[in-house]
Structure 1
Amino acid sequence: MAMYAILKAINNILNAIKGIINAITGILKVIDGTIDAINGIINSIEGIIDVINDIINAIEGIINVINDIMNAIKGIINAMNSIFNAINGVFNSTN
């Protein structure tokens, strides 16, 4: 009878250890799920940063086009000034 009681006690201890291992496994699964969620958030933030960078690049492209247009306008103004100076030169030479 004593042997049965000892075996029963050992069985109870092993079941308790099994319960502890199952609890730890559950905790680890929750931690794993939390890490997956954090990784998802980080990936979302990286995606947002990529979109912001694309917007910044587009704005820089627009600024470059505006600068090109301004340089073209300056070229037109310089050409017009050259034409007016040439016309003035003609009129001044006839006076």
Structure 2
Amino acid sequence: MANTKSAKKAARKIEARTEINKSRRSRMRTFIRGVEEALAAGDQALAQAALQKAEPEIMRAAQKGVVPSNTASRKVSRLTQRVKKLSA
């Protein structure tokens, strides 16, 4: 356990930040799941709409440091490819 006052405060900040990051990561995964489910159903219009909602959430998670920016870009890219493939 932290001994100094500053270390105790740092521990509190880390705990709070961890909760926020968990929430952001969960929100991102929920939006990705929406796209995945639309793709599984084969509904191109629904998949496109879900992707348009998911992309900003994924990029926001990257911007906030929850996931690396390359990871976010890769996820968006792969989802976009799959949605386009569904329409073809």
* Structure with the larger helix share: 1
Relative contact order, higher structure (CA 8 A, sep 6+): 2
TM-score by structure 2 length?
A: 0.42
Q: Between Structure 1 and Structure 2, whose CA radius of gyration is higher?
A: 1
